[in-house]
């Protein structure tokens, strides 16, 4: 059963602590993405990775860090420098980033992690 998994579904942390959100995919996709979603807003891109050992900042990367040591995994660390970390975090993947070879650029999303920092 292929797909993207994110764990845990709910995460609670105290202010000042770093926390790492897990994202794993078994779709053999090259590209992976992290988005943040706040109530009443669309998805905002935090970081993305087109290939293993490479990643790029998205629109709101400040206070976050990522790594891409394996094709299947793209963990996101929310650091204490992130001023408003409470949000719903979504991980996604796609065959590649763009329409270079395919006719579709569908991003497959995981179920999300709700992070609450108090």
Partner 1 sequence: GESVGLHLPTLSVQEGDNSIINCAYSNSASDYFIWYKQESGKGPQFIIDIRSNMDKRQGQRVTVLLNKTVKHLSLQIAATQPGDSAVYFCAETTGYSTLTFGKGTMLLVSP
In the complex, the residues that contact partner 1 under the rule CB under 8 A are 4, 33, 35, 37, 39-45, 48, 58, 88, 90, 92, 97-100, 104-112, 114
Residue 81 or 105: the one with the smaller Cβ distance to partner 1 is: 105
For partner 1, give the closer residue by CB, 80 or 109. Answer: 109
| Residues 109 and 25 sit within 8 Å (Cβ to Cβ) | no
Give the shortest CB-94-to-partner 1 separation in angstroms: 9
Query: In terms of DSSP H, where are the helices of the chain?
Result: none
- We find the least distance from the C-beta atom of residue 88 to partner 1, in angstroms, to be 6
Tokens of 92: 């996604």
Extract the tokens encoding 60: 């709101």
Nearer to partner 1, 16 or 100 (CB): 100
CA 100, CA 74: separation in Å to the nearest integer?
23
For partner 1, the closer of residues 13 and 114 by Cβ is 114
How many C-alpha atoms does 101 have within 13 Å on its Cβ side? Answer: 5
């Amino acid at each position: 059963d292929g797909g993207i998994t994110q764990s845990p579904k709910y995460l609670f942390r105290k202010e000042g602590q770093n926390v790492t959100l897990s994202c794993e995919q078994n779709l053999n996709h090259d590209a992976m993405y992290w988005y943040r979603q706040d109530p009443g807003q669309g998805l905002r891109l935090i970081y993305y990775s087109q290939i293993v050992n490479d990643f790029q900042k998205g629109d709101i990367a400040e206070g976050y860090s990522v790594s891409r040591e394996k094709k299947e995994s793209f963990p996101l660390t929310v650091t204490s420098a992130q001023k408003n970390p409470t949000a719903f975090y979504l991980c996604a993947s796609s065959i590649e980033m763009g329409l270079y070879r395919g006719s579709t650029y569908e991003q497959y999303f995981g179920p999300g992690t709700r992070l609450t920092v108090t």
